[in-house]
Amino acid sequence: MTAVPAHSTVTLLPAAQLAPLVHAYTAAMAAKRRRMVLGAALFVVALALALVGAEVNPATFWAKLGNFSSYFVRLAHLDTGASVLSDPAEWFWGLRKWSLLLGETVLIAYVGTVTGATVAFACCFLCSPALMPFAWVRMLVRRVLEFGRTVPDIVFALIFVVAFGLGPLPGVMAIAIHTTGALGKLFAEVVDNIDLNPVEGVRSSGGTWFAQVRFGVVPQVLSNFVSYALLRFEINVRGAAVMGFVGAGGIGEELITAIRKFFYSDVSAMLLMIVVCVMVIDSISERVRHRLLALEAR
């Protein structure tokens, strides 16, 4: 054992007392390693059972992998066989039409997000045990929000297309319902974690239930609500593009038509436009969210 300098403040235990501690530490680390190995083994077994249950065949995946890569190769070439980069004008021949459809997709997502966020804002306070004393109201509102976010938005879009016909309206309604359920859950969790002292202060001064929410709750949660709504808007832009596949408006209708007709260059052009649009929205909303969080931290 290395000698400790005389000026050191570290005190070493005698070997007789140190040995049991070292043995206990070694045993604890060995037990931790065994638990990690057992957990990894259980994870592998569970994954294998899930693959068998879902009828996922790794051999088929490996055999068909070439078709997947070749599809992306086709997306990068025009009908003439030339690279899409060799003739951008031919690649984006429908830029004007696609831009209008993409703008419609963004508007569908925007209106659906604003509508859903507004309804979620009104519902989230009814889910909080600290704000809503009636258990049946909390249970009813939570079940409604669960229904809204459990049913996929594209299923809602299919239902509304049958009811209202083709166009943006079914897409807006589908996104609004799904956004209400998703944001209602997130908003309710934010409300559950607020400081109740301001609420008690408003209540003790004779404030109504609406006054308690307005002056005791909203100032604490507003920045988080806006942050979640912006994040949901990004998700809804992608969702609105997909809902166009079932006739709910936007660029998705044109995209699914190009896919079915094997217009590979058109597919890649529209996909690139969607990706760039989402990237721009993500960049802007991320800056807004960071500013809101910075203001809240002050």
Per-residue pLDDT tens digits for 100-112: 999 999 999 999 9
CA distance 186 to 197: 22
Q: What is the pLDDT of residue 115?
A: 95
Q: Is residue 190 a contact partner of residue 181, using CB atoms and an 8 Å limit?
A: no
Distance, first Cα to last Cα, the chain: 53
> What is the four-CA torsion angle of 181, 182, 185, 186, rounded to 10 degrees?
-150
pTM of the predicted model over 0.75: yes
Kindly report the three-state secondary structure assignment for every residue of 230-256. Answer: HHHHHHHHHHHHHHHHHCCCCHHHHHH
Q: 163-179: per-residue pLDDT in tens?
A: 888 889 999 999 999 99
Q: 112-163: per-residue pLDDT in tens?
A: 999 999 999 999 999 888 888 888 988 999 999 999 999 888 999 999 999 8
Q: Where is pLDDT greater, at 14 or 137?
A: 137
Q: 220-274: per-residue pLDDT in tens?
A: 888 889 889 988 998 999 889 888 888 888 898 899 999 998 899 999 999 999 9
Q: What is the pLDDT of residue 45?
A: 94
CA distance 12 to 149: 60
> Can you read off the two tokens belonging to residue 9?
């403040």
Q: Which of 214, 242, 267 is nearest to 108 (CA)?
A: 242
CA distance 228 to 91: 36
CA distance 217 to 199: 7
Q: Is residue 174 a contact partner of residue 157, using CB atoms and an 8 Å limit?
A: yes
CA distance 121 to 180: 9
What structural domains does the chain harbor? 105-297 (1.10.3720.10)
Q: Is residue 98 a contact partner of residue 265, using CB atoms and an 8 Å limit?
A: no
Q: Is residue 179 a contact partner of residue 116, using CB atoms and an 8 Å limit?
A: yes
pLDDT of 9 > 70? The answer is no
> Can you read off the two tokens belonging to residue 133?
């004393």
Average pLDDT, the chain: 87
